[in-house]
Structure 1
Amino acid sequence: MQIVLHIAIILLTIAAMEAFSWFIHKYLFHGPLWFIHKSHHSERHGWLEFNDVFSLLFASISLYLMWEGRLDLSYKFWIGLGISVYGIIYFIFHDWFIHNRFKSFKSTNPYLLGIRRAHKIHHKSTKKNPSEEFGLLLASKKYFSQK
């Protein structure tokens, strides 16, 4: 029964990270933290960009929580693990599949193609505003009905 609880904590953390990421992306990254995030909306020269500091921040929080909960595998450990899993998903979806930081893999999966379309719309603007589609795993239905 304990494993079910741990899996539930991880899955809830992933869902919470998607909601939290959408919120901070819309209201902080495209708000007062635009001076950092704008590097992500510009042409990249090299493998890293200033915006990657956000990934380092979330990785640090995740590692801290796992460290704090390591001895008794408390809820902190499982929340930290959920944040890490979300980070891995982010890396695969966003950095690899959408932004081609490595040779992009091809897909005909309608969900993946819809997510890619939504993200490309988000990046149409190189300005702070206007912008739309701030999520990673969820996007408006309209992006999934296109061929």
Structure 2
Amino acid sequence: MLSNALIVVITVVLMELFSIVAHKYVMHGFGWGWHKSHHEPRTGWFEKNDLYAIVFAGIAIALIYAGTRGHHPLEWIGAGMTAYGLLYFVAHDGLVHGRWPFRYVPRRGYLKRLYQAHRLHHAVASKEGAVSFGFLYAPPAAKLKRQLQQRRDAATDRPDASARCEDAT
């Protein structure tokens, strides 16, 4: 029983690491078509970005099914993915994006840091230049603000396309 619980906990931690990479390179990369809806005002209960949750839930269900059919420990990996999905729903969709029927803005501690980090992630409307790609891990807000400012400064220091064309001739 203890080893199964350990598999669940390890899976939750690995899901956060996987999610950081997937959020940065897939959702803000070639998967922007689905994720873009998450960076725009929502008009109903659902957004196209929710398709990611459906895909990952499907994988978790398949792992749980395979594990209960004799392919141990896949059921516990699927359970860890499900636990991560629940944490994501509560912290990200509920707390940060207010998809609950009530609003709560944390004033201190970890939840405030998580809230601020994700708000700073959304300070950039496009798929480039964003900071803080974790869903449960939150770097300090001051660090993220510095990163955002450095990216904005770098973007304004770049010569525009016409200047680059003139330099090439």
Tell me how far apart the structure 1 counterparts of residues 47 and 3 of structure 2 sit (CA, whole Å): 37
The residue type paired with residue 110 of structure 1 is: G
Tell me how far apart the structure 2 counterparts of residues 10 and 98 of structure 1 sit (CA, whole Å): 25
Looking at secondary structure, tell me which structure has more helix per residue.
2
TM (normalized to structure 1)? 0.91
Q: CA deviation at 1:109?
A: 4.1
Measured against aligned partners, the alpha-carbon deviations of 1:72-127 in whole angstroms (never above 9, x if no partner) come to 47200000000000000000001110100111235344100000000000001110
Q: CA deviation at 1:142?
A: 4.0
- TM-aligned CA distance change 1:32 to 1:73, over 3 Å: closer
Tell me how far apart the structure 2 counterparts of residues 44 and 89 of structure 1 sit (CA, whole Å): 21
TM (normalized to structure 2)? 0.80
Q: CA deviation at 1:139?
A: 1.7
Q: Does 1:132 align with 2:127?
A: no
Aligned Cα RMSD in Å? 1.6
Which residue number corresponds to residue 34 of structure 1?
32
Q: Does 1:45 align with 2:76?
A: no
Which 4+ residue blocks in structure 1 deviate beyond 6 angstroms?
A: none
Identity across matched positions, percent: 36
Q: Which has the higher contact order (CA 8 A, sep 6+)?
A: 1
- TM-aligned CA distance change 1:106 to 1:30, over 3 Å: closer
- TM-aligned CA distance change 1:45 to 1:9, over 3 Å: same
Tell me how far apart the structure 2 counterparts of residues 47 and 36 of structure 1 sit (CA, whole Å): 15
Which residue number corresponds to residue 18 of structure 2?
20
Which residue number corresponds to residue 115 of structure 1?
114
Which of residues 57, 60, 83 in structure 2 aligns to 1:59?
57
The residue type paired with residue 4 of structure 1 is: L
The residue type paired with residue 30 of structure 1 is: H
Q: How many residues align?
A: 142
The residue type paired with residue 76 of structure 1 is: L
Tell me how far apart the structure 2 counterparts of residues 64 and 98 of structure 1 sit (CA, whole Å): 29
Tell me how far apart the structure 2 counterparts of residues 94 and 21 of structure 1 sit (CA, whole Å): 12
Tell me how far apart the structure 1 counterparts of residues 83 and 103 of structure 2 sit (CA, whole Å): 20
Gaps of 5+ in 2: 144-169
The residue type paired with residue 26 of structure 1 is: K
Measured against aligned partners, the alpha-carbon deviations of 1:39-94 in whole angstroms (never above 9, x if no partner) come to 00000000100000000000000000001111447200000000000000000001
Gaps of 5+ in 1: none
The residue type paired with residue 6 of structure 1 is: N
CA contact (8 A) 1:98 1:104 kept: no
The residue type paired with residue 104 of structure 1 is: R
